[in-house]
Structure 1
Amino acid sequence: MIKKQLLTLITLVFLTISCSSDDDPRDNYPQNRDITFSITSSDNNRLSEIEFNIEGDGIKISESSYSESHLPKTQSYLSQSIPFSTLLWIHYKDNSKIENIGTPFSPYTIKLEIKVDNEIVAEKEILINERGAVDSLDFTFE
Structure 2
Amino acid sequence: MVMGFREFCDYEWFSFTMENYVVHILFSKSEPGPLLEGKSKYVELGGVYSAQLHQAHTSVGQTHIHVYARNNQLFAMNHDGSAHDRSHGSQIPNKVAQAITQKFPNFTLPKDNYIESAPSGIVNAFGHQLLLG
In the superposition, the TM-score normalised over structure 2's length comes to 0.23
| Greater fraction helix | 2
Larger Rg over CA atoms = 1
| Greater fraction strand | 1
Structure showing greater relative contact order (alpha-carbon pairs closer than 8 Å, 6 or more residues apart): 1
